[in-house]
């Protein structure tokens, strides 16, 4: 393997770890080598450089100090972020050897060394190693507990993070911030807001880090009122000079965009004094998602005129803007222009271009693009193309793509459903039954459709046919009344997308009538004042019939309805949707 020579050379600097001094020789006096070592750690020097400095200290017969060990471990943690597999492997081995040396020297009796070792193991993803140090450690403080909560959160183990957080003998602001972040990373956004509320109840004053996490949770839930509270808090409280804090301002812009509040997003964006490309990307992507494709492209051109260098994420949101507006030729030109900025198209860029082609009806060209791209395509790219095949009822390409998707994700029931429906709509019942049987034999489950709506400080969750909500009777009665009124003006349900669920047409109609977004919509009509828009967030793509239903209800009830699905925003006003039925 090509990486082996580099790994072998780096391991030569680890020879000092084989011979450890006795614990009695462990000194607490500063080492003369520490200033240089500290400088390396502050500059993020590679692990090999720090190990070399430590080796010189050992060669000079100077006993290592707790400070020396903490800096060494910090330098190793810094080097663990290297994208090179050989560097990561070297860092993992060095961590284990440094751990052994620290143990033999008795250094783990000092919290600063224990905490540095915990941080190192967590940064390397070696959570089992970190937990063993944590469970056997006697020199633990609040930093130790915080490190474990944060490590589990970043590693995606929310259960373990909860367990450690629940046993903490004391908590500080960092503890709560780490727990909120762990919930956000695990996509438990409602729990993240609940933890934040508990933190506020304990009289902790939030800082920038925790508020950014809260804004992310609000963005995903569409909890705009909670997001506005954060915005007001930032404006009324002295919080480390919030004006000019581009991280917070970007989170605010992203939150407002993902809640469909574009005027407020614009106000924040225009008020930023020192912006960066991440902020521009958030605003361009928000415009594209909300149906303002032309304005998104104009903002992109403005960004270039101001001298900001686009990055990989910039081209993803710009290509999405082309997708939502059907600008095929412009999208192709933008894709080609990436090389002018020294950016090599990645898998996501090919996927965006394929989605643009597919939605425009060029499904064969999109298929060829995914097959010819220089890297392996992911299921998400093929899934987008499958949606296009379903949109244009292209059974030829759709059959190939559907079979590929089932091979890539055999446990995802949604992949079977789309192919089944495509077969059924085209009257190919034998193939449709085979897909259904395959799905049942493999035990594949379709992702549950969920819709969220915020009101009165709470985020209300609905699923299809839900009867858990306290207002269930009123919600169902209102939906039945609305449906009767819509039928009088000629509304007929489109049941083509629920073939998998039912065989009887009447049952299919009942299923559609109580989709999660309709329950959320009825709740909004019942509770939200007429002067306010009804904002709904859905985790899946809005089905065709619910889209028609929302347009009609917006006219029938004279309400503004804003629905954010997996792909984009739909703003329904007076019987028309902002997507122009192109999603």
Cβ proximity of 207 and 177 under 8 Å: yes
- What's the whole-model pTM score? 0.77
State the number of CA atoms in the 13 A half-sphere of 527 facing the CB. Answer: 20
Tell me which H or E stretch contains 569: strand 569-573
Query: Which residue, of 77, 110, 140, is where some domain finishes?
Result: 140
Of the candidates 125, 140, 155, which is a domain's last residue? Answer: 140
Q: Which residue, 11, 52, 58, 5, is CA-closest to 31?
A: 58
pLDDT above 70 covers a percentage of the chain that reads 81
Helix (H) / strand (E) containing 572: strand 569-573
Q: What confidence category does residue 505 fall into, taking pLDDT thresholds of 50, 70 and 90?
A: very low
Which pair of tokens denotes residue 156?
């995606």
- Output phi, psi for 126, to 5 deg: -90, 70
Distance separating alpha carbons of residues 332 and 328, to the nearest angstrom = 6
Give the distance from CA 449 to its chain's centroid: 18
Range of the domain at 127: 1-140
Note whether residue 467 is domain-resident: yes
Give the end of a domain, one of 82, 108, 140: 140
559 domain residue, yes or no: yes
What percent of the chain lies above the pLDDT cut of 90? 49
Please state the rounded mean pLDDT for residues 152-180: 94
The residue-averaged pLDDT of 52-67 equals: 63
Give pLDDT, residue 56: 61
CA distances from 452 to 223, 246, 390, 534, 572 (A): 9, 29, 26, 11, 17
Higher pLDDT, 569 or 485: 485
Query: Does the residue 128 lie in any domain?
Result: yes
Task: Convert the pLDDT of each residue in 194-241 to its tens digit.
Answer: 999 999 999 999 988 999 999 999 999 888 889 999 999 888 875 544
Nearest CA to 249 out of 222, 229, 276, 225 is that of 276
Other Cβ atoms within 10 Å of 540 Cβ, number: 18
Query: What's the confidence (pLDDT) of residue 238?
Result: 59
With respect to residue 286, please indicate whether it lies within any of the assigned structural domains: no
Nearest residue to 60 via CA among 40, 37, 41: 37
Q: Kindly report which listed range (50-54, 371-375, 376-380, 422-426) carries the lowest average pLDDT score.
A: 50-54
Locate 318 and state its tokens. 């710009």
- Mean of the pLDDT values across residues 482-488? 90
| 494: in domain | yes
In this predicted structure, which of 11-15, 26-30, 266-270, 531-535 has the lowest mean pLDDT?
A: 11-15
Who contacts 172 (Cβ-Cβ below 8 Å, separation ≥6)? Answer: 142, 146, 204
User: How many domains, in total, are found in the chain?
Assistant: 2
Strands (DSSP E) along 154-299, which ranges? none
Rounded Cα gap, residues 180 and 186, in angstroms = 10
Please tell me the predicted confidence (pLDDT) of residue 74. 75
Q: What is the DSSP string of 260-293?
A: T-HHHHHHHHHT-SS--HHHHHHHHHHHHHTT-H
Structure confidence at residue 57 (pLDDT): 56
Distance set, CA 403 to CA 72, 385, 496 (Å): 52, 13, 20
Residue 157 domain-assigned (yes or no): no
| Residue 211 within a domain | no
Q: Is residue 268 part of a domain?
A: no
Beta carbons within 10 angstroms of residue 430's beta carbon: 7
């Amino acid at each position: 393997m090509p990486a082996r020579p580099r790994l072998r050379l780096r391991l030569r600097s680890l020879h000092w770890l084989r011979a450890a001094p006795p614990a009695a020789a462990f000194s607490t006096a500063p080492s003369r080598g520490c200033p240089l070592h500290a400088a390396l750690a502050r500059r993020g020097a590679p692990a090999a450089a720090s190990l070399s400095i430590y080796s010189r200290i050992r060669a000079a017969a100077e006993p290592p100090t707790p400070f020396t060990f903490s800096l060494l471990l910090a330098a190793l943690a810094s080097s663990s972020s290297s994208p090179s597999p050989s560097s990561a492997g070297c860092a993992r081995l060095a961590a284990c050897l440094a751990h052994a040396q620290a143990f033999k020297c008795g250094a783990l009796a000092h919290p600063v060394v224990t905490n540095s070792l915990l941080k190192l193991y967590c940064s390397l993803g070696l959570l089992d190693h970190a937990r063993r140090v944590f469970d056997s450690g006697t020199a633990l403080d609040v930093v130790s507990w915080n490190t474990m909560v944060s490590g589990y959160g970043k590693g995606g183990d929310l259960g373990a993070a909860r367990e450690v957080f629940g046993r903490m003998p004391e908590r500080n602001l960092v503890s709560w911030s780490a727990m909120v972040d762990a919930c956000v990373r695990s996509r438990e956004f409602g729990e993240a807001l609940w933890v934040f509320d508990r933190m506020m109840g304990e009289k902790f004053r939030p800082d920038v880090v925790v508020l950014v996490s809260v804004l992310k949770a609000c963005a995903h839930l569409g909890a705009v009122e909670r997001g506005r509270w954060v915005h007001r808090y930032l404006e009324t409280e002295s919080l480390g000079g919030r004006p000019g804090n581009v991280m917070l301002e970007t989170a605010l812009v992203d939150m407002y965009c993902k809640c469909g509040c574009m005027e407020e997003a614009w106000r924040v964006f225009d008020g930023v004094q020192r912006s960066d490309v991440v902020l521009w990307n958030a605003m361009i992507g928000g415009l594209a998602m909300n149906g303002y494709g032309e304005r998104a492209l104009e903002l992109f051109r403005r960004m270039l005129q101001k001298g900001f260098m686009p990055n990989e994420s910039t081209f993803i949101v710009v290509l999405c803007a082309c997708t939502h507006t059907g600008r095929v030729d412009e999208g192709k030109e933008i894709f080609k222009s990436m090389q002018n900025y020294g950016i090599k198209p990645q898998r996501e860029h090919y996927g965006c271009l394929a989605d643009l082609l597919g939605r425009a009806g060029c499904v064969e060209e999109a298929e060829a693009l995914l097959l010819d791209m220089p890297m392996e395509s992911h299921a998400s790219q093929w899934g987008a193309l499958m949606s296009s095949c379903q949109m244009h009822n292209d059974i030829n390409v759709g059959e190939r793509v559907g079979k590929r998707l089932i091979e890539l994700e055999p446990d995802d029931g949604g992949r079977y459903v789309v192919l089944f429906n495509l077969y059924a709509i085209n009257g190919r019942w034998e193939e449709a039954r085979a897909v259904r049987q395959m799905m049942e034999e493999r035990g594949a489950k379709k992702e549950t459709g969920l819709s969220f709506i915020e009101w009165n400080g709470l985020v209300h969750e609905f699923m299809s046919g839900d009867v858990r909500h306290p207002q269930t009777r009123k919600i169902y009665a209102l939906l039945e009344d609305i449906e009767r009124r819509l039928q009088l003006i000629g509304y007929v349900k489109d049941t083509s997308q629920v073939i998998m669920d039912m065989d009887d047409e009447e049952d299919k109609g009942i299923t559609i009538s109580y989709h999660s977004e309709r329950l959320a919509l009825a709740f909004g009509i019942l509770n939200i004042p007429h002067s306010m828009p009804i904002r709904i967030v859905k985790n899946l793509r809005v089905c065709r019939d619910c889209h028609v239903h929302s347009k009609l209800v917006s006219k029938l009830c004279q309400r503004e309805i804003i629905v954010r699905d997996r792909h984009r925003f739909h703003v329904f006003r007076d019987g028309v949707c902002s997507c122009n039925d192109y999603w």
